[in-house]
């Protein structure tokens, strides 16, 4: 099964805002065309990233996927080409066991940096990032047995 869900209102209130109307009106990711690989993420609020600035942008979204899949976050192509804005980690890798973790329910964020020379302005409801599902393989002698117990960065601390 693959699908997007909103984080709970409780998590939304903790991470973003306690505005129930805002929670009710933001959209789940969607593909723009029939043959698009990426699902577009839409801004919950207006935001501006000034030249040289880094901003952590919440999505309000979590994703469930099959155990042998990953979900990768990228900037939209136009952001890099036109504005020189990129992810601080270049590609965000979301593991299947990130979903509903105890720290943040699997809430995905984009950490964006403006390497350009002008403000990068995003309006509420505008697409600002994308995600792509991908299958992955493991080695025949893989010995991973640890189960995720928490959220972002937790695989460094466990196992």
Domains along the chain with CATH numbers: 3-20+28-156 (2.70.40.10)
d(CA 60, CA 13): 10
Give the pLDDT confidence of 136-148 residue by residue, as tens digits: 999 999 998 887 6
In whole angstroms, give the CA distance from residue 116 to residue 80.
Answer: 9
pTM, to two decimals: 0.90
**CB neighbourhood size of 158 (10 A):** 10
Provide the pLDDT for residue 61: 98
Q: What is the pLDDT of residues 5-55, one digit of tens each?
A: 999 999 999 999 999 999 999 999 999 999 999 999 999 999 999 999 999
User: Could you read off the pLDDT of 78-88 as tens digits, one per residue?
Assistant: 999 999 999 99
- 12, 49, 51, 83, 101 from 117: Cα distances, Å: 32, 11, 5, 8, 38
pLDDT band at residue 151 using 50, 70 and 90 as cut-offs: low
Q: What percentage of residues in the chain have a pLDDT greater than 70?
A: 92
């Amino acid at each position: 099964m693959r699908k997007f869900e909103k984080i709970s209102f409780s998590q939304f209130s903790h991470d973003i805002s306690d505005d129930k109307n805002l929670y009710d009106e933001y959209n789940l990711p969607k593909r723009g065309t029939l043959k698009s690989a990426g699902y577009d993420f839409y801004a919950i609020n207006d935001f501006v990233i000034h030249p040289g600035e880094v901003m952590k942008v919440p999505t309000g979204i979590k994703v469930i996927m099959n155990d042998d899949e990953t979900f990768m976050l990228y900037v939209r192509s136009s952001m890099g080409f036109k504005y020189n804005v990129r992810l601080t980690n270049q590609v965000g890798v979301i593991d299947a066991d990130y979903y509903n973790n105890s720290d943040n329910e699997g809430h995905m964020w984009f950490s964006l940096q403006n390497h350009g020379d002008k403000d990068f302005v995003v309006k509420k409801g505008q697409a600002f990032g994308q995600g792509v599902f991908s299958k992955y393989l493991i080695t025949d002698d893989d010995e991973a047995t640890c189960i995720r117990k928490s959220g972002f960065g937790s695989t460094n601390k466990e196992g």
